[in-house]
């Protein structure tokens, strides 16, 4: 391969026909220039940015950010693709690199990184969150700076939305924000703090997430026997009223309409939280 353009010591662009290919490797361009050959044993990553705008943004990132930050971000991306056994969307090379570098700089300047959606992210995107935690260790090991666990949540969202055919960052964030709102409403209506580490919390968040996804995609829900519906409504009155109020809120503010059967299942999840509160009081 011959160099068409040097972006930095670790990143070059080569041409194959009319296609520009980005090639990465530690010190791959050291002392080299256009038309020089690059050694195959120095190549660590090769990828193509077919979108011209994405390519231009990436070259700007390369020009503006510290090489160490770029290298760390690429190592995180490689680890994520291996762990998830899937190819990530090319935009992740821009979005995650920019985000990681910004987080590191903010931390150096003493700014606190907070992630209000951390608990929901940990439940909804467990595999991606594990990658985020790995990334924090990797950053600390290589750059001697420790980012908080909140940042693992941000990285997890970037990884999740970069999955091929995955949701966009806006969609993923909006869903996670909505789930956070629903948990807060349950806490407010029941006058209780939902323990994020509890099985009840994890089941509730997971169930709500799948329910919202099915509504958004227009999928059908299972029918429920009317006698069962009436029994749950009567036996768990407070939990059912809470579930009904959540349903009303979703319909009025987000146009998500939950069917009666889904309100019953949601009631059962809420009842577990209500029961825990009652057990602690008695």
- Of 246, 165, 230, 229, the closest CA to residue 221 belongs to 229
Q: In tens digits, what is the pLDDT along the chain, a chain of 282 residues?
A: 788 888 888 888 888 777 888 888 888 888 888 888 888 888 888 888 877 888 888 888 888 899 999 999 999 999 999 999 999 988 899 999 999 999 999 999 888 888 989 999 999 999 999 999 999 999 999 999 999 999 999 999 999 999 866 677 888 889 999 999 999 999 999 999 888 888 889 889 988 998 898 888 888 777 777 888 889 899 999 999 999 999 999 999 999 999 988 999 999 999 988 887 777 765
Tokens 């509160």 belong to which residue?
A: 277
| Residues β-bridged to residue 14 | 3, 21
What does pTM read for this prediction? 0.78
Whether 178-281 and 52-166 are alike in CATH topology: the answer is yes
Query: Helical H runs in the chain?
Result: 52-64, 67-84, 92-108, 118-124, 126-143, 149-162, 169-190, 199-216, 226-235, 237-254, 260-281
Which residue carries 């700014």 as its tokens? 111
- pLDDT, position 282: 57
Instruction: Find the helix or strand (DSSP H, E) in which 166 lies.
Output: none
C-alpha 135/C-alpha 124 separation (Å) is: 18
- Residues paired with 19 in a beta bridge: 16
CA distance 34 to 47: 19
Domain boundaries, the chain: 1-48, 52-166, 178-281
Handedness of CA 49, 51, 55, 58 (dihedral sign): negative
Kindly state which CATH superfamily the domain 178-281 is placed in.
Answer: PRD domain (1.10.1790.10)
At CB < 8 A and 24+ separation, what contacts does 214-221 make? 215/256, 215/257, 215/258, 216/256, 221/259, 221/261, 221/262
Q: What is the pLDDT of residue 111?
A: 86
- Residue 72: the pLDDT is 95
Report the C-alpha gap between 132 and 95 in whole angstroms: 15
Q: Are 55 and 63 in contact (CB under 8 A)?
A: no
- 150's CB contacts (< 8 A; 6+ apart) are 113, 114, 115, 118
Written as six digits, the tokens of 67 are 């090489």
Return the structure tokens found at 84.
């998830």
Is it true that domain 52-166 has CATH number 1.10.1790.10? yes
Q: How many CB atoms lie within 10 A of CB 31?
A: 7
- pLDDT of amino acid 271: 93
User: Which superfamily does 1-48 belong to?
Assistant: CAT RNA-binding domain (2.30.24.10)
């Amino acid at each position: 391969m011959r160099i068409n353009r040097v972006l930095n010591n670790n990143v070059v662009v080569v041409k194959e026909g009319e296609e520009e290919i980005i090639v990465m490797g530690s010190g791959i361009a050291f002392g080299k220039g256009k038309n020089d050959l690059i050694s195959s044993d120095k190549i660590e990553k090769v990828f193509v940015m077919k979108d011209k705008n994405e390519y231009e943004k990436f070259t700007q990132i390369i020009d503006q950010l510290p090489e160490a930050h770029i290298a760390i971000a690429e190592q995180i991306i490689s680890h994520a693709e291996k762990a998830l056994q899937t190819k990530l969307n090319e935009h992740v090379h821009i979005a995650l690199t920019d985000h990681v570098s910004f987080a590191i700089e903010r931390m150096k300047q003493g700014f606190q990184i907070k992630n209000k959606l951390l608990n929901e992210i940990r439940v909804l995107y467990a595999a991606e969150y594990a990658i985020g935690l790995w990334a924090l260790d990797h950053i600390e090991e290589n750059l001697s700076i420790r980012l908080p666990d909140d940042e693992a949540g941000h990285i997890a969202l970037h990884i999740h939305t970069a999955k091929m055919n995955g949701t966009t960052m806006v969609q993923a964030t909006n869903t996670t924000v909505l789930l956070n709102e629903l948990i807060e409403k349950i806490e407010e209506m029941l006058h209780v703090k939902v323990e994020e580490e509890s099985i009840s919390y994890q089941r509730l968040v997971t169930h709500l997430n799948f329910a919202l996804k099915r509504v958004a995609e227009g999928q059908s829900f299972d029918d429920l026997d009317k006698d069962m519906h009436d029994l749950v409504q009567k036996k768990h009155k407070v939990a059912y009223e809470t579930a009904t109020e959540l349903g009303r809120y979703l319909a009025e503010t987000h146009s998500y309409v939950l069917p009666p059967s889904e309100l019953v299942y949601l009631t059962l999840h809420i009842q577990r939280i209500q029961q825990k509160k009652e057990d602690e009081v008695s």
